[in-house]
Structure 1
Amino acid sequence: MTTAARAARHTRTRARVPAPDPVPRSAAAPSPFPPIAEYAFLSNCHTAALVAPDGAVDWMCVPRFDSASVFGSLLDRQAGYFRLGPYGINVPAARAYEPGTNSLVTTWHTPSGWVLVRDALTMGPRRHEDEVTPHTRPPADEDADHMLVRTVLCLDGSVEVELVCEPVFDTGRVLADWTLADGERHVADATGAGQTIRLATDMAVGIEGGRVRARHVMHQGDQLWCALSWAEQLAVPDGLDDANGRLAATTRYWRDWLDRARLPDHRWREPIQRSALAIKGLTYMPTGATVAAATTSLPETPGGERNWDYRYTWMRDSTFTLQALHWLGLDWEADEFMQFVADLEPNEDGALQIMYGIDGRRDLTESVVEELSGYRGASPVRIGNAAYDQRQNDVFGAVLDSILLHTRRSQRLPRRLWPIVETQAACATRVWTEPDQGIWEARGEPQHYVSSKLMCWIALDRAARLAEIRGDDRRSAQWHATAEKIHADVLAHGVDRRGVLRQHYATDALDASTLLAATFGFLPGTDERMRATVLAIADELTEHGFVLRYRTDETDDGMSGKEGTFLICSFWLVSALAAIGERERARDLMERLLHVASPLGLYAEEFDAGTSRFLGNFPQAFSHLALIEAAARIILSERLEEYVR
């Protein structure tokens, strides 16, 4: 039996990796799965791709972020991949983003020469109405081509280059059926699960079971290209010049977009810029929604069950998104997101859900993909998120704070947003005395979480200010009075004997979400209770200086196993330390956080401080939003110090 036949047979048997051993494992244990931090993130603001160091696209869903994957090796080594690179060489000499873009440039050194590979989910001038992912927002001048374009340039010597494209449709469950589309071995179509994608290249390809493969020896100055398309009529570049033109147009798109941002001339300019590009890359252009991350089911615990689908929009992200976008001067994106919020359908009681699909859909029913082993054996692999119908009282504050931020920026309160103010204020008034699942979506018993009360206070405080802007003094006074009641209740029941804010009313356990009391102005930085809370979290809720959400042995979150430190919580601590006047400590922590970024400047959800490895979905919008917020606070304080001097 040939090597190709054995490979095809192995793929078709779909032998499932045995269930993970229950013994706790290290995030640094040897594994065929690349570390999360080593993946590059590509985006066309409709979907994303993650590229492994060996040049393989290990994760891509088409045509949208939340579609089923066609390449899913990130979650099972047999779930599909697309590699373009030197044959027999898996470790590149260098990888970097083309400056100011989400396009990847990889340099390879082989025993016989050097090659350079460029990868991008291409974008260019909008040619016609998008039928692949229809827009509800006004289309921009540039939009996605709905294709992945890859080129190789031989820099020196001679190099044998390999192309392997092995899609597995329906999130790793349906093998591809390939057919040659041109008779000359340069165009092939893969079909499965009711979907067809097209591979085009100037290499001669062969079909080997569920994959297409090609090999070609390049010499100095030679260049080749390939493209994978899911565009209308499966359009592909018409040659090398067109492929290069699409890559150039994509570079122009990202740089033109970045030129519109107001970036500080500061030593942290590059991480702020990369965070802005990551957040834009996680934005679904047709509706203005932002996904929490590009992936599903990357584990929060090595080999564990804390694996969630983050390819949706959380309402709690709204206020952090608006803060970051407005601070960067990206007002158009901020307005697009607010229009998405205004379009959302509330529940029967008028409350917005905690999360929605990127198209605004409400039903995110969770299911398990039994066929996939999970990243490094972490199962289950989940599609959908059952938390969508949880009771989380923080949603009202997030939405109304974002509306206030947007209103102040635009100097007007849009008529279509006022009904949302009324309904969310009414909901917060009705439920603030009730227990809920909290900001972390605990799957244990509902509790009176301090962060939820805090966010209800924000809801009524911001609603009162919006009513004042609107000239509605009666509503303003009414909502302000309710905000005062919530404030008093939290200080009466949510503070322990040390003067530290509790996780919830029935415990003295710490919770990083109480840091938001400083950043949202619930207590001034000079208040001793605020200072005691921030310092207690800094000293007692950290591992190697990085912040945990809470200690899992003190919290009934309905799950088993430990989790890593949460990067967003560590950035929150930076902001809170700055708010209480601990500027040096804030700067020191910020520098440590910047040094744990991935080699390409990206962040996951969590950081395993013991092994210096990322955990959780990637790249994580919340982490990058919190980075911008923390950097902004320190930069502002530094500018003020310079002014005073």
Structure 2
Amino acid sequence: MHPHIEDYALIGDEQTAALVGQDGSVDWLCLPRFDSAACFAKLLGDEDNGHWRIAPEGAELCTRRAYRRDTLVLDTEWDTPQGSVRVTDLMPQRDRAPDLVRVVEGLSGEVTVHSVLRLRFDYGSIVPWVRRVDGHRVAVAGPDSAWLRAEPEVPTWGEEFGTHSEFTVAAGEKVAFVLTWHPSHEPRPPLVDPYESLEHSVADWRAWAARCRYDGPHRDAVIRSLITLKALTYAPTGGIVAAPTTSLPEELGGVRNWDYRYCWLRDATLTLGALVSAGYQEEAEAWRNWLLRAVAGSPRDLQIMYGLAGERRLPEFELPWLSGFAESTPVRIGNDAVNQLQLDVYGEVMDSLALGRRSGLSAKPDVWAVQRAMMDFLRTAWRQPDEGLWEVRGGRRQFVHSKVMVWVAADRAVRALEEHPELPGDLDGWRAMRDEVHREVCERGYDPERNTFTQSYGSRELDAALLLIPRVGFLPPDDPRVLGTIEAIREDLGHHGFLHRYTADETVVDGLPGGEGTFLVCSFWLADALHATGRTKEARELFERLVELTNDVGLLAEEYDPVAGHQLGNFPQAFSHIGLVHTALALYGEDGAG
């Protein structure tokens, strides 16, 4: 039986991340970066595509598991007739030499434990050459090399193109495994002490979590979301990936399977707001600085997403040898949406830079020049149709959300000049543009018969992104058109109390067959909109339901199937966790306590 998406837990070192199943198997790991080729790809295939399982002999799913409080260190425990055993998983942080540390500890009795490691480089397609060197197992294939060692050393043998170990642990006894990657043309990096790494990781994560300023209801869920965002940060550059996975399906057996191991500009404002509000100024500044480097250049060349270091070319292709999660194909690498025009990202960038200025992030000399160049581009480009927020592949349209975010760009530029008259800029021209965009959206993007804004000009479809209209300041929360839009979205896009992204006939909008689950961040947006319009009790009830959707270790995917009761899409998803943090702060933070 194939596992569910929510059966996994995340570990990582802020350069890459692994997913660990409830059976003690690491089924996904890309080395050395989030966007590198996977050496464990069972998540999207089978055991022969690479995995590493450590578990009691004959045992299946664990008895219990949990992160150590306020850390990314995972404890998985089994109770067996012979006794109990724990496997502790972590990835200590160090430069350019990712390590996967797995510590086996006897808790009671005497338990026989089996380890099977199948390394398969290049997304499960290459079986490496494995040899023994100085008591280590060394796997090499092309540019990749990985070293496996155990402390104390345990019996190891090769079988069925895998490395097997079997040993017994009594109460208090420990065996630590360390798998270390490095480029095959370079010497092996210095060895890490697994027990010191465990101690330091726990201490470092707890010190980081202690900086969180939020102290309201569901603080554990907020801390877990912030830790997840930190874990999805590529520390060398400050970029935050949307998810550490590719091709986890939005519909089981469907084709809506995308690669999310990149950094989206759209996440910028929401991420900055969540980090700053929660007390993480340093991380917010690193993300802002990544953003500035990524968008450098001509505004007409602005992309919606970039690689971890700001790379622009992310070509999309398929891996036919992988059968997909729950037979959901194709498995895709790269993302062709990088070539789309999505005008809303200009508003996101302008808004995030304005937020950074208001939040006291360090001044950067070229920020205003970048913003002026964007406004010069938008002065004429804003009238174009685009692919919109949801990266549809059914053709360009005049998406209302895109136009609203163009208004945001102009509004933030006008406000900057009003607050800092010493800055150069076309105040009158930008004001006129802002007014023109606002007038056009209210005339062409609004359906007076239903009293709701629509997904695109002249359409009848709805879009959950319209819930952001009051948040960005386009209209006040008590405007009748905002209230009507909220009610129409709840009625048309609601599904068992949660929201789809847009109206049900997706093929009209995105050109793809099949369906998808409810989109979690949209449901958080609904809670925010309800709260902003004075319906805080309803907002908190919805927030409670959303928090309950987190898996047993507090993680959320991109989507949720309320009928089957399972998570869908790439996992864990930064957007979902940003939504959780933002809504908690809005409902119970300094402005929403009570």
- Per the TM superposition, whether the score is higher than 0.5 is yes
1:194 paired with 2:143, answer yes
Which of residues 229, 234, 257 in structure 1 aligns to 2:188?
234
Partner of 2:38: 69
Partner of 1:250: 201
Which of residues 210, 221, 224 in structure 1 aligns to 2:161?
210
Partner of 2:70: 100
For 1:95 and 1:411, locate their aligned partners in 2 and report how far apart those are by CA, in whole Å. 39
Partner of 1:591: 544
For 2:33 and 2:57, locate their aligned partners in 1 and report how far apart those are by CA, in whole Å. 31
Contact 2:372–2:425 (CA under 8 A) maintained in structure 1:
no
Which of residues 36, 40, 48 in structure 1 aligns to 2:17?
48
Partner of 1:559: 512
For 1:188 and 1:469, locate their aligned partners in 2 and report how far apart those are by CA, in whole Å. 63
1:442 paired with 2:412, answer no
Contact 2:585–2:592 (CA under 8 A) maintained in structure 1:
no
* Other structure's SS at 2:44 match: coil
For 1:236 and 1:224, locate their aligned partners in 2 and report how far apart those are by CA, in whole Å. 20
CA deviation digits over 1:103-122, x for unaligned, max 9? Answer: 10111111100111110001
1:39 paired with 2:8, answer yes
Please list, as runs of the form range in 1=range in 2, the aligned pairs for 1:271-282 lying within 5 A after superposition.
Answer: 271-282=221-232
1:422 paired with 2:372, answer yes
1:356 paired with 2:306, answer yes
Contact 1:115–1:154 (CA under 8 A) maintained in structure 2:
yes
Which of residues 323, 347, 354 in structure 2 aligns to 1:397?
347
For 2:257 and 2:234, locate their aligned partners in 1 and report how far apart those are by CA, in whole Å. 23
Q: Which amino acid aligns with 1:575?
A: D
Q: Which amino acid aligns with 2:6?
A: A
CA drift of 1:638 comes to 6.9
Partner of 1:517: 469
Which of residues 605, 611, 614 in structure 1 aligns to 2:567?
614
- Alpha carbons of structure 1 residues 378 and 542: separation in structure 2 relative to 1, 3 Å: same
Contact 1:413–1:470 (CA under 8 A) maintained in structure 2:
no
- TM-score scaled to structure 2, two decimals? 0.96
1:171 paired with 2:123, answer yes
Please list, as runs of the form range in 1=range in 2, the aligned pairs for 1:68-467 lying within 5 A after superposition.
Answer: 68-77=37-46, 78-123=48-93, 130=95, 132=96, 146-182=98-134, 186-201=135-150, 202-231=153-182, 233-235=187-189, 237=191, 242-264=193-215, 266-344=216-294, 346=296, 348-410=298-360, 413-467=363-417
* Other structure's SS at 1:107 match: strand
1:600 paired with 2:570, answer no
Q: Which amino acid aligns with 1:386?
A: D
For 1:119 and 1:634, locate their aligned partners in 2 and report how far apart those are by CA, in whole Å. 34
Contact 2:492–2:503 (CA under 8 A) maintained in structure 1:
no
Q: Which amino acid aligns with 1:101?
A: T
Please list, as runs of the form range in 1=range in 2, the aligned pairs for 1:3-18 lying within 5 A after superposition.
Answer: none
Contact 2:257–2:569 (CA under 8 A) maintained in structure 1:
yes
1:548 paired with 2:500, answer yes
CA deviation digits over 1:327-348, x for unaligned, max 9? Answer: 1111111111111111125565
CA drift of 1:568 comes to 0.6
* Other structure's SS at 1:198 match: strand
CA drift of 1:637 comes to 7.7
CA drift of 1:617 comes to 0.1
CA deviation digits over 1:116-169, x for unaligned, max 9? Answer: 11100013xx6xxx4x2xxxxxxxxxxxx6201111111111100111110111
CA drift of 1:172 comes to 1.2
* Other structure's SS at 2:366 match: helix
For 2:189 and 2:21, locate their aligned partners in 1 and report how far apart those are by CA, in whole Å. 26
- Alpha carbons of structure 1 residues 120 and 451: separation in structure 2 relative to 1, 3 Å: same
For 2:56 and 2:537, locate their aligned partners in 1 and report how far apart those are by CA, in whole Å. 47
CA drift of 1:475 comes to 2.5
Contact 2:499–2:520 (CA under 8 A) maintained in structure 1:
yes
Q: Which amino acid aligns with 2:50?
A: G
For 1:83 and 1:559, locate their aligned partners in 2 and report how far apart those are by CA, in whole Å. 36
Contact 2:382–2:403 (CA under 8 A) maintained in structure 1:
yes
For 1:369 and 1:578, locate their aligned partners in 2 and report how far apart those are by CA, in whole Å. 44
Return 5+ residue gaps in structure 2 as ranges.
none
CA deviation digits over 1:227-257, x for unaligned, max 9? Answer: 100157434646xxx3111111111111121
Contact 1:552–1:563 (CA under 8 A) maintained in structure 2:
no
For 1:259 and 1:493, locate their aligned partners in 2 and report how far apart those are by CA, in whole Å. 49
For 1:194 and 1:233, locate their aligned partners in 2 and report how far apart those are by CA, in whole Å. 12
* Other structure's SS at 2:397 match: coil
Contact 1:170–1:193 (CA under 8 A) maintained in structure 2:
no
Contact 1:287–1:359 (CA under 8 A) maintained in structure 2:
yes
Which moved further from structure 2: 99-108 or 216-225? 216-225
Partner of 1:15: none
- Alpha carbons of structure 1 residues 349 and 268: separation in structure 2 relative to 1, 3 Å: closer
* Other structure's SS at 1:570 match: helix
For 2:298 and 2:425, locate their aligned partners in 1 and report how far apart those are by CA, in whole Å. 26
* Other structure's SS at 2:98 match: strand
- TM-score scaled to structure 1, two decimals? 0.88
Q: Which amino acid aligns with 1:604?
A: A
CA drift of 1:486 comes to 0.6
Contact 1:227–1:236 (CA under 8 A) maintained in structure 2:
no
CA drift of 1:468 comes to 3.1
* Other structure's SS at 1:180 match: strand
Contact 2:285–2:362 (CA under 8 A) maintained in structure 1:
no
Contact 2:214–2:585 (CA under 8 A) maintained in structure 1:
no
For 2:458 and 2:317, locate their aligned partners in 1 and report how far apart those are by CA, in whole Å. 33
* Other structure's SS at 1:559 match: coil
Partner of 1:3: none
CA drift of 1:220 comes to 2.0
Contact 1:500–1:529 (CA under 8 A) maintained in structure 2:
yes
Contact 2:296–2:370 (CA under 8 A) maintained in structure 1:
no
For 1:474 and 1:159, locate their aligned partners in 2 and report how far apart those are by CA, in whole Å. 72
CA drift of 1:409 comes to 0.9
Contact 1:177–1:210 (CA under 8 A) maintained in structure 2:
no
